[in-house]
Amino acid sequence: MKSNSDKNNLAENKVLILYILNRLDKDITNDGLYKIISSVNGLNYFYFQQTLKDLVETNLVGYTKDDDTVVKITSEGKNAYELTKDLLPGIVKLKADNIFEEELASIEEEASIVAEFIPKNENEYTVKCKIIENNETIFEVETYAGPRDRAKKICDNWNNNATVIYPKIIELLLNE
């Protein structure tokens, strides 16, 4: 049986997520939202994911249709936030407000270069590398990478060198 303290923490974490999403005027990824929330209250990744899943299942939060990593508050979520915003202690709101702008700027900068590897099976991966500007994908490439270590190396290389790699690919594509 959960204690009242656990229930209060769960409710507070849900309201905090709604509070942050309600303040946003731009899209945010699941990872970006986690970065802000964990900076505010130290919530671990797995507990964050479970809390977010609860919000999605109750239709207070959803993902955009074209990208299952971009989190948005729903109209039901906005209504729920208005009804429950008093559950969030003032000190948590103050901390969230202080961290919000700084973390959001950092997240937006990081979000402009994205690389992920996706398992095809236990030993084979594909890699997707993107450049995003103003919430629009301006470049995306997806390729077979082979084993996990190779996929990780490709992702790391893209994250560290996309500003060099991208112009070279465009130059190669434009060569006649």
pLDDT tens-place string over residues 81-130: 999 888 888 888 888 888 877 777 776 666 588 888 888 898 999 999 99
3-state secondary structure 36-92: HHHHHHCCCHHHHHHHHHHHHHCCCEEEECCEEEEEEECHHHHHHHHHHHHHCCHHH
| pTM passes above 0.85 | no
Dihedral of CA 83/89/92/93: which sign? Answer: positive
Q: Structural domains in the chain?
A: 4-111 (1.10.10.10), 113-174 (no CATH)
